[in-house]
Amino acid sequence: MCSLKSVLVILFPITLILSLAGCATSPMGRKQLTVMSESQMNSMGANSFEELKRKMKISQNARFNQLTKCLSRELLNAAEQNPNEWEVVVFAENSPNAFALPGNKIGVHTGMIQLAQNPDQLAAVIGHEIGHVLAQHGNERTSQALLAQGGIMAANIALGDGSPKRNLLLAGIGLGAQFGILMPFSRKHETEADKLGVQYMAKAGYDPLQASRLWVTMGQKAGGSPPEFLSTHPSPDSRVRYLESYGAQFTGTYQTSRSKARCR
Ligand SMILES: [Zn+2]
């Protein structure tokens, strides 16, 4: 059973949502509440990604595409994933950003590739995004939003005629698609994705300490107006600190794997 407080708070009125709720465990061992099915999340992610590809300009830069796709393959292999089941697209956008959607979709902006000072730093970005997907952060976040929505509706129902109003609750679940899969992740999700990214990059043969170096650069470039990627994430300072100590734990893994890293 999940022992999340958010479930207990709304346990009484939301029997329908609870009956559909599932428990998951993130790759870091953290218990998660997931209301949405994996296939629902994947199709929502895939549809949104298709829309983004229509709306945004896809980069034709051969070097950027080659490096991003090469790193993605090696990192996915390190994460024990089949790279052929993933889609990684480079978007011609100057903002230093990257994003992940359920359904194995990753987008990297050219601005982020330009900001990374070496392939290892770009590997940290892509590894981070793979981490978001594999830890099902999209599902967890959508589930939290849905449960919050359910709580509000339950309050209304309690004041009303007291009927279960199942159709309302089902509509609530259907609203998941409108919660904007691109809404910011929480600090907890960011930290978890950072750590997973470090694991994948070390295993793929990329220097895990370069993840913290990337955030030093991000902090310097942030200046007065932080880039999009920064504004929704933990502060660069705290990130640099924990990535340094976490990365140091994987230098052994990196040393034994470094000869197999091919993307330069
Ligand atoms: Zn993130």
Question: For 194-206, what is each residue's pLDDT tens digit?
Answer: 999 999 999 999 9
Question: Looking at residue 221, what DSSP letter applies?
Answer: H
- Domain membership of residue 230 as a residue range: 39-135+183-260
Q: Look at residues 124, 147, 174 and tell me which one is the last residue of a structural domain.
A: 174
> 187 and 170, same structural domain?
no
Within the chain, where are the H helices?
5-9, 15-20, 38-55, 62-78, 110-115, 119-134, 137-159, 166-174, 187-204, 210-222, 228-231, 236-248, 251-257
Amino acid at 166: R
Position 66, amino acid = Q
* Domain count for the chain: 2
Cβ atoms of 259 and 114 within 8 Å: the answer is no
Distance CA 82, CA 5 (A): 36
Q: From CA 250, how far away is CA 230, in angstroms rounded?
A: 25
State whether 109 and 119 are in the same domain. yes
CA of 105 to the centre of ligand 1 (A): 14
The pLDDT of 10-31, averaged and rounded, is 64
Number of CB atoms found within 10 A of residue 249's CB: 13
76 and 197 together in one domain: yes
Query: For 92-112, how does the pLDDT look when each residue is reduced to its tens digit (9 = 90+)?
Result: 999 888 988 889 999 999 999
Judge if 151 and 245 occupy the same domain: no
Q: Which residues on adjacent β-strands are paired with residue 22?
A: 34
Query: Do residue 191 and residue 96 come from a single domain?
Result: yes
Same domain, 85 and 162: no
The reply to whether 210 and 101 lie within a common domain is yes
Residues 204 and 214 in one domain: yes
Catalytic residues, which ones?
129
Q: Give the whole-angstrom CA distance, residue 189 versus residue 79.
A: 18
In the reported structure, the alpha carbon of residue 186 is separated from the centroid of ligand 1 by a whole-number distance in angstroms of 9
Q: What percent of the chain has pLDDT over 90?
A: 45
CA angle 135, 213, 129 (to 5 degrees): 20
pLDDT of residue 41: 81
**What is the arithmetic mean of pLDDT over 17-31?**
73
Ligand 1 centroid vs 231 CA: distance in angstroms? 11
Distance CA 34, CA 210 (A): 33
Residue 217 shares a structural domain with residue 129: yes
Distance of alpha carbon 64 from alpha carbon 69, whole angstroms: 8
190 CA → ligand 1 middle, Å: 5
Residue 58: DSSP 8-state: B
Are residues 148 and 168 part of one domain? yes
Highest mean pLDDT among 36-40, 117-121, 181-185: 117-121
Do 148 and 86 share a domain, yes or no?
no
pLDDT higher than 70, residue 174: no
| CA nearest to 27, candidates 181, 197, 185 | 197
Q: How many Å lie between the centroid of ligand 1 and the Cα of residue 49?
A: 17
Output the CA torsion sign for 114, 253, 88, 63.
positive
pLDDT band at 227 (very low <50, low <70, confident <90, very high): low
Centre of ligand 1 to C-alpha 181, Å, is 12
Q: Which residue among 118, 146, 174 closes a domain?
A: 174
pTM (two decimals):
0.81
Give how far the C-alpha of residue 82 lies from the chain's centroid of Cα atoms, to the nearest Å.
18
Handedness of CA 71, 72, 75, 77 (dihedral sign): negative
* 67: three-class secondary structure by DSSP: helix
Q: Which of 151, 174, 197 is the last residue of a domain?
A: 174
pLDDT at 221 exceeding the cut of 50:
yes
- Would you say 68 and 36 are in contact if contact means Cβ atoms under 8 Å apart? no
pLDDT tens digits along 119-173: 999 999 999 999 999 998 888 877 776 676 665 444 344 334 443 433 333 333 3
